[in-house]
Structure 1
C-alpha cells in the first residue's frame, strides 16, 4: 500500500511500504508476526525507523451522547537504521507479543463487529508518516472460548460486541478500554435479566471474567445493573465443567440484588459485596464488605443442545455480527472496508 501523504511530501517517486501479516487469527497475549515490505523510489532514502501501532475503534460516552474514535493501544519498533536504495526491495520480518487484554474480533471464524488494525509508521528524512493499515484478526484464548461456549450451551445467544473507552474499577485493567460481549438471556433467565455483558481481562497468570446483568425491574422496583467478577486460570481448561461453573456464576449474579463478587475457578466465593449501580459511566466503583458463599444448584438433566459455536456457525438470529442480521453485517463490513482502504485524515501529530 502506498503512503499517500508520504508521496505528497517526497514526490511521486518516493518509497512505498506494505505490511503483510501472517495468515490466521492471533490470540490475546500471543505472537503476531509478518513482514514489512519496502520498495525504494526514484532516489535513496534513510529509513530511520519502522513502527507498528495497534489501533482499535472504541466507543466513548459523554454528556452529549456517544461517539466512536480510534485509539492506539500499543507500539512496536520493528526495524530501521538503514538506507533504502533507489528501486531496492527489502522485507523486514517481525514478531511481536500482543497485549493480554487485546479484544477478540472473531469466534469460530465469524466476525463480532470489532475493528482492530495494525498501522505502519515510517520515519524517513526526519518526517514520520502513518500510512499502511492492515486488519487484525484475534481469536479467543481456550479459556475464553470455553466460557462463551458454556453460555451457548445454557441457551444464551450472541447479540453484539463493542469496545468501551474507560476503566472497570476494582480490576487491574491495563488498556484504556475494555470489550463487552453482549448476550441475550436464555429462557431460564429471561424473566430476571434483559441481557448479560461479558468482559475478559486476561493476564499471563489467569483471567478476570466480569459479568454485568441488566436486571429487569419488578412491580414496585425499577431495573438496575448487577456486576460480578470471577477469576479463572489458563490451564486445566479441558478438565473443568464450564457449563456448570458458568451456571453457578449466573445464579450468583442474578441472586444478588447488586454485588461485585470475586470467585475462583473452583466456585469458592470471596465477594466484595456492596451496592453497585451506574449509568454506564465506565468508571465502575464498588464498595467492599463481607460476602457469603452462595448455595450451588445445578440442573439435574444435562441437555446437549447447541453451544454458542454451533449457533454462530449456523448464523442463527444473525449471530455473525448482530441480532438484526444482514443489514448490520453489511454496515459493519462497509465501515471496516472504509477504515482499511487507507488513512487519509490528519492524525493530529506524533507521540
Structure 2
C-alpha cells in the first residue's frame, strides 16, 4: 500500500511524496530498499532532509491496564540538500539496514498480526512534515524459522503475536520493546502449561531465544510464569527438533523445581542465574494480557510446522483491519496536528 500526501505545513501547492518499498519481506538485520518519489508543487522548494522512520504498534502495560501506541524505533536520513523545481519529478533511492531485533510480521507468507510501518518525513524550507506511511513486512531469519518449525513439529500451535513495551532483564535487548509469539501447548505439556511464549533477540553473532512458560494454576495455587534463555548461532543445527524439545523439557523442569521451592517458602531458586531472564517492566501474575489480532482464534498448524493457517478468513481479516486502523489513526493524528498549527 502506498499513497501520497500533500505537505500540510506548506499549504496547498506544496510538493507531494510517495515512498515505494521494494517487493518482498525484509529480514531482521537485513537491507530495506525502495524509492522516495517527489513531485514539485507550484513553486520551487528546498528539500533539506528526507528521513525514514520505522514505526511499530506496541502494547504498554501499567497499573490501570494497558494501551497501544506507535513507537519510532529507528530513523534514517536518506537524502536532501537539493532544490525541487516547480512541478519537477524526482526519485531518491535508498538502502537502509534494519535493526537485528526487528519484529517478524509474517511466517510462510501468513501475517502474524504485528503492525510495522515506514514513515517518510521531509524537512522543506525549515518546516518538517510527515508525508507518507507504508506498511513494512519482515520475515524470519533462518534460525527463527527453524525454531518455529520445530515447535510446530513438536505439536505447539500458533495463538497470536504482539509487541510489548519494556525490557527483558538478563538479555542483550536493544530496542525499547520485544516481540512475543504465543503458542498453544503441545499435547505432552498441555497439563503443565497454558501457553508457551517465544521471544527472539537477534544480533550479528547469533540469536537469543527467551521462552516463557505460563503454568496452569490449580484450585489452591495461582498460575505463574517461568522464563529461561538460550542462545544459538545463525547457522543450522543438526537436529532442531531435538534441540528445541530439550529447551522445553528444561523449562518445564525448572518450573516444577520453582514450584517445589516456592511451596516451602524459598522463593525463586534461579534468581540471578545467567540464563534466566526477567521482565523488568512488569511481572505477569497468573492473568495474561491481551495479545493483538487473532486472540482467541484457533489457528491450525499444518505440515509446515507453524506455517499459520487461516480459519474461515477470520485471522486475515483482523490483521488487515488492524493495519488499516493503525495507518488511519496516524493520518488523523497528523491532521489534528496540522489543524492546531
| Smaller-chain TM-score bracket | 0.7 to 0.9
TM-aligned CA distance change 1:329 to 1:275, over 3 Å = farther
Cα contact 2:39–2:88 (8 A) shared by 1: yes
Structure 2 match to 1:3:
5
Q: How much has 1:328 moved relative to structure 2? A: 4.7
TM-aligned CA distance change 1:76 to 1:56, over 3 Å = same
Q: How much has 1:3 moved relative to structure 2? A: 2.8
Structure 2 match to 1:68:
68
Cα contact 1:25–1:137 (8 A) shared by 2: yes
Superimposed CA distance per residue, residues 270-304 of structure 1 (whole angstroms, 9 cap, x where no aligned partner): xx93389999763569xxxxxxxxxxxxxxxxxxx
Cα contact 1:3–1:129 (8 A) shared by 2: no
Structure 2 match to 1:255:
253
Q: How much has 1:326 moved relative to structure 2? A: 4.0
Question: Distance in 1 between the 2:59 and 2:315 partners?
Answer: 17
Q: How much has 1:35 moved relative to structure 2? A: 0.5
> What TM-score do you get using the length of structure 1 for normalisation?
0.81
Cα contact 2:156–2:186 (8 A) shared by 1: yes
Q: Write out aligned runs for 1:157-176 (5 A).
A: 157-176=157-176
Cα contact 2:169–2:279 (8 A) shared by 1: no
Q: How much has 1:222 moved relative to structure 2? A: 2.8
Cα contact 1:131–1:343 (8 A) shared by 2: no
Question: Distance in 1 between the 2:337 and 2:256 partners?
Answer: 42
Q: How much has 1:258 moved relative to structure 2? A: 6.8
What secondary structure, in the 3-state scheme, does the structure 1 residue paired with 2:248 have? Answer: helix
Cα contact 1:226–1:258 (8 A) shared by 2: no
What secondary structure, in the 3-state scheme, does the structure 1 residue paired with 2:133 have? Answer: strand
Question: Distance in 1 between the 2:82 and 2:256 partners?
Answer: 59
Cα contact 2:227–2:278 (8 A) shared by 1: no
TM-aligned CA distance change 1:278 to 1:240, over 3 Å = closer
Structure 1 match to 2:270:
273
Q: How much has 1:331 moved relative to structure 2? A: 3.1
Q: Write out aligned runs for 1:1-351 (5 A).
A: 1-4=3-6, 6-7=7-8, 9-218=9-218, 220-235=220-235, 237=236, 239-257=237-255, 273-274=270-271, 282-283=281-282, 306-310=303-307, 312=308, 314-315=309-310, 318=311, 326-340=313-327, 343-346=331-334
Q: How much has 1:142 moved relative to structure 2? A: 0.1
Cα contact 1:227–1:259 (8 A) shared by 2: no
Where do 5+ consecutive residues of structure 2 fail to align?
259-268, 285-301
State the Cα RMSD in Å.
Answer: 2.6
Question: Distance in 2 between the 1:165 and 1:220 partners?
Answer: 32
Q: How much has 1:13 moved relative to structure 2? A: 1.3
What secondary structure, in the 3-state scheme, does the structure 1 residue paired with 2:331 have? Answer: coil
